[in-house]
Chains A and B, each alone.
Chain A
Amino acid sequence: MSTDILHEVTQGDYKYGFTTDIETDIIPIGLSEDVVRLISAKKNEPEWMLEFRLKAYRHWLTMKMPEWAHLDIPKIDYQSIAYYAAPRKNAPQSLDEVDPELLKTFEKLGIPLHERMALSGIAVDAVMDSVSVKTTFKESLSELGIIFCSFSEAVEHHPDLVQKYMSSVVPYTDNFFATLNCAVFSDGSFVYIPKGVRCPMELSTYFRINAMNTGQFERTLIIADEDSYVSYLEGCTAPMRDENQLHAAIVEIVAMKNAQVKYSTVQNWYPGDKNGKGGIYNFVTKRGICKGENSKISWTQVETGSAITWKYPSCILLGDNSSAEFYSVAVTNHHQQADTGTKMLHIGKNTSSHILSKGISAGFGQNSYRGLVKINPAAENSRNFSQCDSLLLGDKCGAHTFPYMEVNNDTSIVEHEATTSKINEDQIFYCNQRGISTEDAVGLIVNGYAKEVLNQLPMEFAVEAQKLLQITLEGSVG
């Protein structure tokens, strides 16, 4: 009886599901060389960029969608997607020129684009559909030599850096979705932290899909020069729509000697409705390279959204003594599916990696951890520790782990631990007996379970993420 009431009050509504009524420049659906040229022309790109896109496009034509993941992906018709959509009033020079509707949208999402209002001290790059709307704090950051701008601006103003590092970590031939991104990517963020600079504020990009029938293909490139440090966050939401939308992004990180990059994601793309209708296909390639000695990259992700998630933020540990971390919480409720994990490729000596993955499945959700730890023969004295935990809420959901390990020398140590647990009724009843409702009890327990990962997030985001976890799981325990 109480369960029904619980279900009623907790329809778990996706609160970012509104649409913005704004004039949008959308190109016709379909994909061809002409479309690739059109995108490039819309963005006034130099010839080398167009060449890069075309090269990728031609290669993509020879590729097939990967089928090894533990996912049930409906057939995607790549000719029915529009590959470029932009709010018409483009490239504002100052805030006054930003369409007020857009400002309202981001305000509603809690993203302050007004620098004076951005008390949180976070610099934001806001991307709507295919273009960057506004980047805050750009000027004050540039005084330190930090470049934080949209990818398009970087192509225009810093072509040398873009040409040197773009696709140096994820080659254009890497995989089906990454190659597609190389052909049609629209915008994204670009970050360069110069030698010896510690970026004084969190940098963040906020991605928003608005237009219908469009795909979002952004790419982000972060370069941390020697002895530098940056913490970067990304967030994302989309309106509720009945059809599925494709999001295929690329993120590349380059960390030079002694540099440290911390990359955090709170992924909350529209997950589809309770019956699995609609939602974002989140097929993303993220990879970092610890290029110099003692460099460090850490990925933290909280994945609560998307109908299907396919993503493996990875690290190439090239520099000696470099280290990498992967912290993940992935939630699948209702009919959501996630196949996510990481790859750690140890090449340098004394390299170390740490993996902590926390999967949470509820409803009919399917959650898989997939990881590869590979230690090359030359990567002497390397270490990896992986911990993969699964938490099940209910008995119609699933959790799976696919850990792969390849250790090619005998001085390295690789350890793997995995646990599966269920929220048990005794725990819930114990909370109930203290006056805590079942729904809040689940929230407390899940957040407790995910704490080690959430603690890795910057403060403000940790609080957001906690709420998000609870909202995502509302109505999942009866």
Chain B
Amino acid sequence: MLEIKNLHANINGKEILKGLDLVVRPGEIHAIMGPNGAGKSTLASVLTGNQTFEVTKGEVTFYGKNLLELTPEDRSREGIFLSFQYPVEIPGVSMVNFMRTALNEHRKYKNMEPLSATDFLRIMREKKTLVEMDNKLANRSVNEGFSGGEKKRNEIFQMAMLEPRLAILDETDSGLDIDALRIVANGVNKLKRPDNASIVITHYQRLLEYIVPDFVHVLYDGRIVKTGGKELALELEDKGYDWIKKEVEENI
């Protein structure tokens, strides 16, 4: 579904992604790990069309469409969802209003009628239960005053609402307590279908015990430098990244 070829991207003239390749097929879960500053969040931003990054080279297709030509909102409507590493607060905008607008935009894109208020609230209730989200949170403004963990849970709630074809989870596990981690992972697993896929960015192999990846990639210095099965995550946790860095340097 997703094909990334030789992707290069800059911010303020500084190259962050330096020729990244990745292929994701339906039903797969890909974990991306890598040291701080390697470019993991940058990849997520570029895939979702954040304009602070400039794509200088490469191709990205999503179900055959040239993703880089689509506006951010159309990428979302095509089914790409990002669980942000740092979810943004939007004071004054209620979660209900926000989600209803979003969901109806997605429906409009598919030529579907907007949802009635009752249908919408029913779906909202269902999905809240799925991620065990507090009612009180759903009645507040988007992320405003949410704790770090609450924000992350809210991201998964929104993902459940929008049922994306490709979900990118950027460090959704950081800041979660053990129970929340389990709940969030459960939510992700329940939403898993043969026709959708996830990219899970994480530093901790703990999450990968709950969300079992088909592939683990190491992103280092703007490239995917190593790919393996879930055991690679254990190895990384054990040995850190130095040996990878060495491998990379030796290859040059």
Contacts and interface: CB of A to CB of B under 8 A. Distances in A.
Contact of A435 (B73, B84, B89): B73
Given A425-B52, A429-B72, A440-B105, A434 B98 contact: yes
Given A432-B49, A435-B105, A426 B88 contact: yes
B106 A435 contact: yes
A427 B158 CA distance: 16
A297 B142 CA distance: 33
A430 B102 CA distance: 11
A260 to B, nearest CB: 27
Contacts of A427: 88-90
A430 B76 CA distance: 11
Interface in A433-478: 433-438, 440, 444-445, 447-451
Contacts of B48: 433
A435 B142 CA distance: 15
B101 interface: yes
B91 A449 contact: yes
A95 interface: no
Interface string A405-447: 0000000000000000000011101111111111010001101
Contacts of B92: 445, 447-451
A62 interface: no
A275 interface: no
Contacts of A451: 92
A426 B72 CA distance: 12
B62 to A, nearest CB: 15
Which of B49, B77, B87, B102 is the most central at the interface, judged by chain A CB atoms within 10 Å of its CB? Answer: B102
A445 B91 CA distance: 8
Contact of A448 (B51, B71, B90, B109): B90
Given A440-B101, A444-B101, A448-B141, A434 B90 contact: no
Nearest to A446: B92
B93 A444 contact: yes
Given A444-B101, A447-B92, A449-B92, A436 B73 contact: yes
Contacts, number: 78
Interface in B25-69: 48-52
A435 B102 contact: yes
Interface string B70-98: 01110111000110100111111110011
A2 interface: yes
B43 to A, nearest CB: 14
B52 A435 contact: no
Nearest to A449: B92
Contact of A444 (B49, B51, B98, B106): B98
Interface residues of A, number: 22
A44 B48 CA distance: 69
Contacts of B89: 427
Contacts of A430: 84, 87-88, 90, 142
A437 B49 contact: no
B162 interface: yes
A123 B162 CA distance: 44
B72 A448 contact: no
A434 B154 CA distance: 13
Contacts of A440: 101, 105
A166 B213 CA distance: 78
Given A425-B52, A434-B76, A436-B73, A445 B90 contact: yes
Contacts of A434: 76, 98, 102, 105, 158, 162
B92 to A, nearest CB: 3
A382 to B, nearest CB: 30
Contacts of B98: 431, 434, 436, 444
Which of A431, A433, A449 is the most central at the interface, judged by chain B CB atoms within 10 Å of its CB? Answer: A433
A444 B104 CA distance: 14
A429 B50 contact: yes
Contacts of B101: 436, 440, 444
Contacts of B51: 425, 429
Interface string B129-161: 000000000000110000000000000001000
Which of A434, A440, A445 is the most central at the interface, judged by chain B CB atoms within 10 Å of its CB? Answer: A434
B9 to A, nearest CB: 16
A450 B109 CA distance: 29
B97 A433 contact: no
A431 B90 contact: yes
Given A435-B102, A436-B102, A2 B71 contact: yes
A2 B103 CA distance: 22
Interface string A185-225: 00000000000000000000000000000000000000000
Nearest to B107: A435
Contacts of B76: 432-435
Contacts of B82: 433
Contacts of B158: 434
B105 A436 contact: yes
A435 B162 contact: yes
Nearest to A443: B101
A160 B117 CA distance: 52
Nearest to B92: A448
A444 B94 CA distance: 9
A427 B84 CA distance: 12
Contacts of B90: 427, 430-431, 444-445, 448
9 contacts: A429-B51, A429-B72, A432-B76, A433-B75, A435-B109, A437-B71, A444-B97, A447-B93, A448-B93
Given A431-B90, A434-B105, A435-B162, 9 more contacts: A425-B52, A432-B49, A432-B73, A433-B81, A434-B98, A434-B102, A444-B97, A445-B93, A447-B92
7 closest pairs, A vs B, by CB? A448-B92, A432-B72, A448-B93, A435-B76, A434-B102, A430-B88, A435-B105
